[in-house]
Structure 1
Amino acid sequence: MIENFASVRGLRLAWLDGGPAGAAPILALHGHFGRARRFAPLAAALAPGHRVIALEQRGHGHSGRDGDFGPDAYVADAAEFLRGLGLGPVIVLGHSMGGVAAFRLAARHPELVRALIVEEGGADNRPPAIPHPVLDVRGWPRRAATLGELRRGIEAQGIPDAGYFLESAVEHPDGWGLLFDYDDMVSSQQALIGDWWADWQGSTCPALLVHGLDSFVLPTAMAREMAARRPGTVLRELAGCGHWAQDDDPAAFAATVRAFLAAL
């Protein structure tokens, strides 16, 4: 995927282009702590029929930040980004926080979204439905002498596998660290705590909801309720997968997405 930059609502946002210009576009939105490049395997699996355009969201990766991490800011960025590219309506795929942004984008800007693919993005992000909606990273190491040391420092905070977070690891002049600001990420997660049912039910386009049955973030009961309460929604449950289903079983995730796209 090729990295590009766009000026979006006063911010310089990075984005990756993963397909030919003439292919059917899919806007991909990562979740908290994520990077646009995590969609590279999916882009390869869907090529050449689809063009995955992955937006690196505000405060993440190589994108800028302005202190606003409210859910509306992510939606407004995505809408303006699509308009800037002259695209729409497109298929919008989002993971976790990016999934919430995706279905809120469809509810607020239906002219931009022809179909939804939501991976592990819940309609209710409040306790007790989601027992721990905020991962407090403020105690994580900010610099380490080596990448391995940074990994061990993060995993010592109770993270079984720091691989997802290390996608944001870079070497600075004073050692290895992560690209995102820790306070920003806590603020963003706190802002996402809420009842998003009206947004989930606020669009009528076809939707695929992908749920990892081993997820500690999206309860299976909520995923099934989401599918039952929104007409036109297909629920696919992936066994042996957790919250990062596309990383746990890339082939199964790609096949699930491909089948949904073929049925559109």
Structure 2
Amino acid sequence: MTAESHVRVDGRRLAYVDFGGTGAPVLALHGHFGRARMFAPLAAALAPGHRVIALEQRGHGHSDRAAEFTPAGYVADAAEFLRRLDLGPVVVLGHSMGGVVAFQLAARHPELVRALVVADAAARNRQPEVAHPVLDVRGWPRRAPTLRALRDQVEALGIPDATYFLESAVEHPDGWGFLFDQADMMASQQALVGDWWPDWLASTCPALLVHGQDSIVLPTAMAREMAGQRPNTRLREFPGCGHWVHDDDPVGFAHAVQEFLDTV
């Protein structure tokens, strides 16, 4: 994996990983609690035809925290990031919260986005459509003596498999802990609760909507409605997969993305 780099946006450091190559650039945006390196398998699968550049969004990974964690703030960061690297227009791929940021970026900065891949992100992220739009992490451990202990403590709080979250775990001088701040993540999740349907319908570029049929974040009925109402949108459903399709079926996910990119 290519070494992490960073740029400064509004005085803050935004970290990113450029997986390299000379192919067409794809900006990859992770979801809540994520980080850039989650896209390493996808970048390898898409090489050499596509150059994946994964941004670590504010308050995630090794990017600096910010005064606020709102969708508008994430969109502004992504737009400025693309301008700083002189990359637009690009394909923007986003998972979960990153998917919402992706289609809002296309709506507000169409000159920067030529196509979208939205992986399991809801255009109406609110109850009752989404039963639990906010994951309560206020009681999660700040530190644990080992990575195994950190996993055990998180899973004891009701997370069946903490693997995704542990991608953002690192060893600090006082033990193992997460790169993200729990209070920041609560504020960010709460700010993402809402009806983003107008943003979803506001852009006209080609789009691929990826949906895991066992997802707890994007109901199948909503995924089909999103694809049906937005022109130039394809829906790819993955039976037996949950919210993290890229982990549940990495080969199938990469194939679906590659097939879509071949057309745009």
User: Corresponding residue for 1:48?
Assistant: 48
1:235 matched to 2:242: no
Q: Look up the match of 2:6.
A: 5
Amino acid at match of 1:148: R
Figure out how many residues of one structure are paired with residues of the other and give that number.
263
CA separation in 2, counterparts of 1:173 and 1:18? 29
Structure 2 matches for 1:17-96, cutoff 5 A?
17-20=18-21, 22-96=22-96
Residue equivalent to 2:15: 14
Q: Equivalent residue of 1:57, what SS?
A: coil
Distance 2:51 2:200 in 1: 25
Whether the 8 Å contact between 1:9 and 1:80 is mirrored in structure 2 is: no
SS in 1 for 2:254: helix
Deviation at residue 15 of structure 1 after TM alignment? 0.2
Q: Deviations over 1:28-76 (max 9, x none)?
A: 0000000110000000000000000000000001000122101100000
Match of 2:156 in 1: 156
Distance in 2 of aligned mates of 1:72 and 1:11 = 16
Letter in 2 for 1:120: D
- Counterpart CA distance in 2 for 1:19 and 1:170 is 25
State the AA in 2 paired with 1:15: Y
SS in 1 for 2:252: helix
Query: In the alignment, which residue of structure 1 is the partner of 2:258?
Result: 258
Q: Deviations over 1:81-115 (max 9, x none)?
A: 00000111000000000000000000000000000
- Alpha-carbon offset, residue 210 of structure 1: 0.1
Structure 1 alignment gaps of length 5 or more? none
CA contact (8 A) 1:67 1:184 kept: no
Task: List per-residue Cα deviations over 1:99-154 (Å, max 9, x = no partner).
Answer: 00000000000000000000011100110011111001010111111110000000
- Gap runs ≥5 in structure 2: none
Q: Who is 1:114 aligned against? A: 114
What does residue range 131-142 of structure 1 map to in structure 2 within 5 Å? 131-142=131-142
1:26–1:92 contact (8 Å) kept in structure 2 = yes
Aligned match of 2:187: 187
Asked whether the equivalents of residues 210 and 236 of structure 1 are also in contact (C-alpha less than 8 Å), the reply is: yes
- The one-character-per-residue Cα deviations of 1:181-226 (angstroms, maximum 9, x if unpaired) are 0000000000001100000000000000000011111100000000
* Partner AA of 1:213 in structure 2: Q
Q: Alignment partner of 2:195: what SS?
A: coil
In structure 2, C-alpha distance between the alignment counterparts of 1:147 and 1:197, rounded to whole Å = 39
> Taking structure 2 as the reference length, what is the TM-score of the superposition?
0.99
Identity %: 72
Deviation at 1:19, TM superposition (A): 2.2
* RMSD over equivalenced CA pairs, Å: 0.7
Q: Does the 8 Å CA contact 1:25/1:91 hold for their aligned counterparts?
A: yes
- TM-score relative to the length of structure 1: 0.99
Contact in 2 for aligned 1:217/1:243 (Cα 8 Å): yes
